[in-house]
């Protein structure tokens, strides 16, 4: 079985954001087809596009999977539904969980259902900052540019701050 290296962007801005993200990681980790999960730090980020909503918590996960990109997309949609994401909500509205496939090995997919690499990733500091934390010197697919250099050139001016999780005693 071929293991595909994948990077996911995960965000939440409704409810217990830390718990929503932790639950999504736990569910992903429960699949035998997914292994070697590594997480970036948590980042508190300003909402883009629709700014009249709560701030987000965001991370990037690195993992390996034997799923195809479309199988992984189906699992992600199931997880989002399990964690209370409204399937009928409008774009850029508040959400309990949002999971995007940013990079799926060296794949290039452009269908109405799935675009890889994620078309907005290079324009979003909330994706590039945690991605650069995990793999600064990786080349972003189809660009020949290191992730750390994409971050430096990113036109996004929103604030992305490392977030310290409050451990409850």
Question: Catalytic residue positions?
Answer: 85, 95, 98, 100
CA distance 36 to 4: 11
Burial class (CB in 10 A: 0-12, 13-18, 19+), 109: middle
Residue 105's CB: how many other CB atoms inside 10 A? Answer: 15
Six-digit token string for 154? 């990113």
Six-digit token string for 114? 């799935």
């Amino acid at each position: 079985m071929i293991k595909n290296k994948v990077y996911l962007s995960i965000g939440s801005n409704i409810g217990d954001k830390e718990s929503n993200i932790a639950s999504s990681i736990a569910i992903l980790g429960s699949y035998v087809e997914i292994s070697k999960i590594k997480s970036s730090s948590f980042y508190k980020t300003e909402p883009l596009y629709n700014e009249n909503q709560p701030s987000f918590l965001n991370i990037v996960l690195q993992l390996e999977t034997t799923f195809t990109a479309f199988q992984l997309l189906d699992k992600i949609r199931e997880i989002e539904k399990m964690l209370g994401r409204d399937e009928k909500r409008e774009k850029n509205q508040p959400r309990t969980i949002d999971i995007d496939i940013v990079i799926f090995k060296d794949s290039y997919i452009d269908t109405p259902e799935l675009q890889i690499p994620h078309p907005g990733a290079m324009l979003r500091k909330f994706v590039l900052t945690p991605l650069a934390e995990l793999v600064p010197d990786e080349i972003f697919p189809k660009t020949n540019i290191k992730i750390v250099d994409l971050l430096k050139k990113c036109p996004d001016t929103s604030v992305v701050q490392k977030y310290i999780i409050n451990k409850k005693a």
